Chains A and B, each alone.
Chain A
Amino acid sequence: MIVAREPIQRPPDARLLAIDAKGVITHWLRRDLAALLRRGDLVVANDAATLPASLAGLHAESGKPIEVRLAQRASLERDDVHEFSAVVFGEGDYRTPTELRPAPPALAIGDRLQLGPLRATVRRLLGHPRFIAMRFEGSAHAIWRGIAHHGRPIQYAHMRPALALWDVWTPVAGAPAAFEPPSAGFALDWHLLADLRRRGVAFTTITHAAGISSTGDSALDARLPLDEPYVIPRVTADAIAKARRRKGRIVAIGTTVVRALEAAATADGRVRAGAGVATLRIDSHTRLRVVDAILSGTHEPGTSHYALLGAFLSPEWLERGNRELEAHGYRTHEFGDSVLIERSVRWPGSTSFDRACREPTHDRALREEEQYERG
């Protein structure tokens, strides 16, 4: 695939490859996304704003330059900003491909890190020379201020211009929780939200701490995605229950939404409202309980994102989709084109009730629901 190298969230020619529940592949312009959705469907996006999580500075003990990439915190509580786990690189910046970045100086518990106006201490080593638990000094407000002024968005060598925060905040970005952008949400704009509403497609959000996508080290990459905290508002849990009663599809905008909703799912496909931590890995062995379809970027085989798509359809169909992306010159990476994959009717991820029967009964169920609500 072609690498998207410019930070344009919604290029007018952005494309969308759709794979429906029967494995039929079609090609679209992404701005026509709403036309692929049905009345009664529910679109769920991750409204996390992205932190400028790359902090350049010095390892005080050695005096050597480092880049700290914040990767994880325990919760999304607004004052819970002292403790992070982080990936640390030696000198240089994003313009050097991650896999070629020098290792940081040897890090030990108690080492001090000077990151612009921020001061931090290494608290634990997390089983890899690049991966640490660290603690910032100062008040929560001082830490937010320091991150806001000193941090840069995490980025990779394929993206040439230095990213600004406005490049990586999706139009619906709210609470600052993500370490890298929940980039499937770049497809959303306010015009699309209005279009969905006109078509009777509902829209709602969760907040999920989308983590880093690559560390440049295969042993560390194998530990991705890390455990990620999320919050599901009560109104979102209610909207999911309502959409399911109406036999509408739950359409996740991005892998982080799948991760949060499936983490919060009960056995019967409801979703628990509130704060939680997504620890599960989703792949071809996962039986999805909530999500029916996913809008996602185009991902390379071997990544955790690609593995997650395997929960929606068979490896053969996924590979067929991938070949189609290659053949048609789709763009990849966070500012690239998109895929919309509906959970296959013949893949074990299908839930116990007969999904093949859903479509014909869809309109009747919708009518009944509306009568119920009016009544």
Chain B
Amino acid sequence: MNGDRQHDIDLAGLRIAITGGTSGLGLALVREWNARGASVAFVARTPERVEQLARELRGVTGIVGDVANKLDIHPIALQILGALGGLDVLVNNASSLGPVPLALLADTECEAIEDALATNLLGPFRLTKALLGALRASAAEHRGGAVLNISSDAAITPYPGWGAYGASKAALHHLSAIWNAELEDEGIIVSSLDPGDMDTPLHALAVPDADRSTLRHPEVSARELTQAIVGALGERMRVRQADVR
């Protein structure tokens, strides 16, 4: 990847929201976008951590909520749209591993796989649906209109022990593909991307004895994902920047 080109990415005026914004990849993305001038709203469950990050990064909006909870979805959506005045890009990043420590499927409690599906599949579905009108308007105005769902190679490869997580991410992956096909004519892009094995709290939960030196830094993945968003929006980024300036 070309370092100079990365440095040039200017997100001024881009309205972007992310779930799971206070740790790991989500935190790295919030910092990355804020540094590049985007209008950012992030969602996370723990009020203290949301407040702390919102205080640290001035101008970034912190929203407390749990995407796995149906009743939280519209209050989250309302706060995102209120804070940003609309939405160009949504990143569904909040993820649940399912049972911790990881368990064989036959040893997985039904409630644990329900929890994984609630966070990894239903949450992104509900939040995207609630925000789809705003994303349609963004696409129609040639500003944006993209949904990025954070996936995993466990969505493709059947790793023993990763049943709840892998099955829910596989479903999210397929949901993204179908939604993308259905929304193509509206100009809305829905994609799912695997950021790779990163040195994050989620990875430490899953593989406590991993050799961290072999894992990617979330900041590196955050830059790549940002590049992917800019690439997906393509011409729209140039139109928007012409408007901003």
Contacts and interface: CB of A to CB of B under 8 A. Distances in A.
B186 A193 contact: yes
Q: Of B79, B85, B185, which is in contact with the most chain A CB atoms at under 10 Å from its CB?
A: B85
Contact of B141 (A52, A141, A190, A235): A235
Contact of A205 (B63, B75, B137): B137
A17 B233 CA distance: 42
Interface residues of A, number: 36
A175 B141 CA distance: 14
B140 A235 contact: yes
A190 B85 contact: no
Interface string A165-188: 110011111111000000000000
A172 B129 CA distance: 10
A78 B83 contact: yes
Contacts of A70: none
Contact of B82 (A78, A171, A190, A194): A78
Contact of A145 (B73, B79, B137, B182): B79
B81 interface: yes
Nearest to A45: B133
B196 to A, nearest CB: 33
Interface in A113-135: none
Interface in B34-76: 61, 63, 73-76
A233 B75 contact: no
A35 interface: no
B130 interface: yes
Contact of A166 (B74, B81, B137): B74
Nearest to A50: B78
B237 to A, nearest CB: 17
B84 interface: yes
Contacts of B132: 171-172, 190
A233 B133 contact: no
Given A78-B84, A141-B83, A173 B133 contact: yes
Interface string A193-236: 11001000000110100000000000000000000000001110
Given A148-B79, A174-B86, 14 more contacts: A47-B136, A52-B78, A76-B85, A78-B83, A144-B78, A144-B82, A148-B74, A175-B86, A176-B81, A190-B186, A193-B186, A205-B136, A233-B137, A235-B142
Interface of A: 47, 49, 51-52, 76-78, 81, 140-141, 144-145, 147-149, 164-166, 169-176, 190, 193-194, 197, 204-205, 207, 233-235
30 contacts: A47-B134, A49-B133, A77-B85, A78-B83, A78-B84, A140-B82, A144-B79, A145-B63, A145-B79, A148-B82, A164-B74, A165-B78, A169-B74, A172-B137, A173-B134, A174-B86, A174-B133, A174-B137, A175-B85, A175-B137, A176-B81, A176-B82, A194-B185, A204-B140, A205-B137, A207-B137, A233-B137, A233-B140, A233-B141, A235-B141
